[in-house]
């Protein structure tokens, strides 16, 4: 781009020397860039004379196009400045209920106080595979996901414990830690997450077969059923931070955790607004040293 701008500056000032001084280049460097531009176009654009420089016939014909190139580049630069200033834009996020309920409202509220013209589109999936498809198809800019089902570049945020939930009247509620081998004998309410599920994988690895009485797609429905002592379940600790039900939450043995991460196809293709919002997420909830290091390296 510099060659086009230098060409116009030389033409405007009528001198290679004056253009070099104003732009902070040596006269030799300016001459080399003009020569490079002429070589690229296969013609001579400028002629030097005692009175300065003047356009050749080919230069006169090409001048409007060079002006258009520089004007378009200026418009592009201004648009990028606007985007970097976060004056407009849409951030599209794939997520699941625990994050959309307990993280995103506060994050979006804080972000929009500083950038009120940025809007959000939230896609809430029933299964982890939904998020993967949305990333692959470009339907979302980035998605929350679990570490073990990642497909693309990712930033690990934090470990999220999975806890047993029971009615306070349940016999196991008196335990501080509940063995999974005992929990699975109780009527179990399974959160249906498709084939990609930490819980299903854990049960399989431990050769446990939970006594599944209900398969449910919504965490709140599960909590309501557990409150009525219809069964027990295991749910994300994040979801339990603002639990609106009368429940007892207990650790399980062996413990089950999932690594919450942000996933995107390529950092370089992320919209500017999305990058800034990811930075807020990482600064607020990022507890993984590896994830923080990866994000710092990407965002430099």
pLDDT category of residue 78 using cuts at 50, 70 and 90:
low
- In 33-118 the beta strands, taken as DSSP E runs, fall at 46-49, 52-55, 90-95
Same domain, 164 and 253: yes
Examine the domain organization and report whether 151 and 264 are in the same domain.
Answer: yes
Task: Say if residue 252 is in the same domain as residue 263.
Answer: no
Q: Tens of pLDDT along 12-65?
A: 888 888 888 888 888 888 888 899 989 999 999 999 887 788 899 998 999 989
Q: What is the pLDDT of residue 291?
A: 82
- pLDDT band at residue 196, thresholds of 50, 70 and 90? low
**Nearest Cα to Cα of residue 237 among 215, 217, 260:** 260
Q: What is the mean pLDDT of residues 244-254?
A: 92
SS (H, E, C) 137-171: HCCCCEEEEEHHHCCCEEEEEEEEEEEEEECCCCH
- For β-strands 90-95 and 142-146, DSSP reports them as parallel
Q: Could you read off the pLDDT of 135-152 as tens digits, one per residue? A: 887 888 899 987 655 667
pLDDT at res. 269: 80
Beta strand pairing status for 248-253 and 233-236? unpaired
Boundary of a domain, candidates 67, 84, 101: 84
pLDDT band at 194 (very low <50, low <70, confident <90, very high): low
- Six-digit token string for 279: 């930075």
* 160: Cβ contacts below 8 Å, ≥ 6 apart: 98, 236, 237, 238, 257, 258, 259, 260
Domain that holds residue 279: 90-157+259-298
Residues 182 and 235 in one domain: yes
Residue 286 has pLDDT above 80, yes or no: yes
CATH code: domain of residue 237: 3.40.190.290
Distance CA 258, CA 160 (A): 5
Say which CATH number the domain at 147 has: 3.40.190.10
d(CA 192, CA 215): 6
* pTM given for the model: 0.70
Whether 169 has a pLDDT exceeding 90, the answer reads yes
Residue where a domain terminates, one of 84, 108, 143: 84
What local confidence, expressed as pLDDT, does residue 23 receive?
81
């Amino acid at each position: 781009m510099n060659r086009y701008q230098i060409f116009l500056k030389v033409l405007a000032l009528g001198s290679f020397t004056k253009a070099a001084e104003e732009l902070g280049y040596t006269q030799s460097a300016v001459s080399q860039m003009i020569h490079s531009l002429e070589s690229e176009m296969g013609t001579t654009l400028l002629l030097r004379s005692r009175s300065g420089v003047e356009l050749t016939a080919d230069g006169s014909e090409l001048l409007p196009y060079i002006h258009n190139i520089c004007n378009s580049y200026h418009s592009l630069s201004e648009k990028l400045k606007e985007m970097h200033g976060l004056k407009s834009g849409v951030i599209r996020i794939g997520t699941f209920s625990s994050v959309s309920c307990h993280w995103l409202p506060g994050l979006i509220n804080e972000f929009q106080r500083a950038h009120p013209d940025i809007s959000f589109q939230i896609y809430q999936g029933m299964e982890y595979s939904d998020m993967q498809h949305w990333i692959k198809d470009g339907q979302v800019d980035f998605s929350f996901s679990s570490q073990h089902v990642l497909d693309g570049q990712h930033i690990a945020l934090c470990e999220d414990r999975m806890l047993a939930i029971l009615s306070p009247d349940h016999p196991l509620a008196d335990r501080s830690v509940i063995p999974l081998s005992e929990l699975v004998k109780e009527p179990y309410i399974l959160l249906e997450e498709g084939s990609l599920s930490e819980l299903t994988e854990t049960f399989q690895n431990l050769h446990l077969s939970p006594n599944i009485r209900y398969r449910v797609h919504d965490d709140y429905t599960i909590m309501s059923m557990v409150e009525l002592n219809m069964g027990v379940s295991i749910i994300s600790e994040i979801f339990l931070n603002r639990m609106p039900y009368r429940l007892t939450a207990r650790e399980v043995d062996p413990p089950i955790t999932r690594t919450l991460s942000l996933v995107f196809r390529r950092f370089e293709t992320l919209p500017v607004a999305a990058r800034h919002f990811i930075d807020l997420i990482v600064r607020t909830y990022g507890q993984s040293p590896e994830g923080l290091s990866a994000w710092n390296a990407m965002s430099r």
